Amino acid sequence: MEDNHGQHPDQSRRHRDIGGRHCVPDGPEGLSVWATAQQSGPVQRRGRYVPESVKHPARMLPAIAAHAVRAYTRPGDLVLDPMCGIGTTLVEAIHAGRDAIGVEYEPRWSNIADANITHAQHQGATSRASVVRGDATRLRSLLPAALTGQVALVVTSPPYGPTVHGLVRPGADGVAKFDNAYNDGTDRGNLAYRDLTGLADGFAHILTGCATLLRPGGTVVVTARPWRKNGQLVDLPSAVIAAGMRAGLIPTERCVALLAAVRDGHLIARPSFFQLQAVRKARAGGTPLHLITHEDVLIFRRPHNDHPGSEISKETHGDGVVA
C-alpha cells in the first residue's frame, strides 16, 4: 500500500460509493486506504511537535493530515481546521508549503497549537499559520470576511465524547487514566459534551461556516470513527455525512485512514491499553469484538456553481443530494 502524496486532484478520477449513492470524486486516483500508521503516533510527533502535545485527549495522526494536505491542495493554498486542537493540521500544512488557519475553543489547546506552529517555523516551515480562539459554530463571526471563498481545504475531526482513552500510568491500585478529557468538566461549551444529535447539529453549523469560506470546488476532509456506548455502536461517520449534506456540501469519497501498520500484507494493530482490555473482556464474554484499525475519512466538495460570499444552496433533488 502506498500513499499518493503529491498527486493533485486533477490527475485522475474514479467512482466510489458513499451513503448509498455512486459519486464521482474530485480527489486523487489511487488507493482509498491511506497507509497513515506505518509509524506510531508518538514516533510521528517526536521532535516535530512540542512535548505538551501529548496532553490532548484525541490527537489526529500527523500522517493523516499530511496526506490530506498533499492530496487535495497545491503549495500556497489555504488550509482551515475549525477544531484544530493542538494544531496538527496547521503544522502539517505549513511544513508542506501551504498557509493555514485554525479555530480552537479551549485556550489550553490553542496555546499548544501556537507553540507547535512556532516550533515548526523554527524547524524550517516557511508558510504562515495562526490560531483563533472561539466557538467554531460561529465560524463566520470569528474569521475575517476577506477569507470568504479563499479556503482550498478543510481538514478536521469531531470529538468522540467528553472522555477518551487518553494516556495510562501504572500504580499500586492498577492502571490509571490521565489526560483523557477535554477540560475539567465545568465548561460544557465543547461539542464533546453533547449527545450524538447535539454533536451532529453543532458540527453541521461548523461545516456550514466552512462551506462559506471554501472556494467553489474546495474540499472538506473529516476523519471520524464509530464508538461504543454501553455496548452499543454509535455511528458517528453516518452522522458526519448527514451534517455535511445539511451544510450544502457534496459527499464525494469515503476512504480509510489506517491506525495500524502494514507489514508483509498484514495489519499490525496499535490499540490503546483500554481498547485492548475492552476487546479481551468482550471476547471472554462471548462477544466477538475486534480492535479498531482505521478511521473513516469522509470527503466533501463545495459545488463549483456557488459564488464566494453567497449562501450555500439548500435545495435538494430526489436522491437527497444537496445541489
> Does 35 reside within a domain?
yes
User: At residue 49, does pLDDT exceed 90?
Assistant: yes
User: Is 215 within the bounds of a domain?
Assistant: yes
pLDDT per position as a tens digit, 54-110: 888 778 999 999 999 999 999 999 999 999 999 999 999 999 999 999 999 989 999
Domain range for 165 is: 9-301
Query: Does residue 319 sit within a domain?
Result: no
Question: Using 50, 70 and 90 to split pLDDT, how confident is the model at 4?
Answer: very low
- In this structure, the dihedral spanned by the alpha carbons of residues 300, 244, 238 and 152, taken in order and rounded to 10 degrees, is 30
316 domain-assigned: no
The pLDDT confidence band at residue 275, using thresholds 50, 70 and 90, is confident
> Does 90 fall in a domain?
yes
- Residue 114: pLDDT band with limits 50, 70, 90: very high
Contact 219, 299 (CB under 8 A): yes
User: What number of residues does the chain have?
Assistant: 323
Residue 114 lies in a domain: yes
Measured between alpha carbons, how far is 271 from 17 in angstroms, rounded to an integer? 28
Per-residue pLDDT of 69-78, as tens digits, reads 999 999 999 9
Q: How far apart are CA 320 and CA 275, in angstroms?
A: 36
- Structurally, the chain folds into a number of domains equal to 1
Comparing 131-135, 193-197, 293-297, 309-313, which segment has the lowest mean pLDDT? 309-313
Q: What percent of the chain has pLDDT over 90?
A: 57
The C-alpha cell that represents 113 in the structure block: 497549537
CATH number for 147 = 3.40.50.150
Q: Which residue has the higher pLDDT, 189 or 130?
A: 130
> Is residue 134 situated within a structural domain?
yes
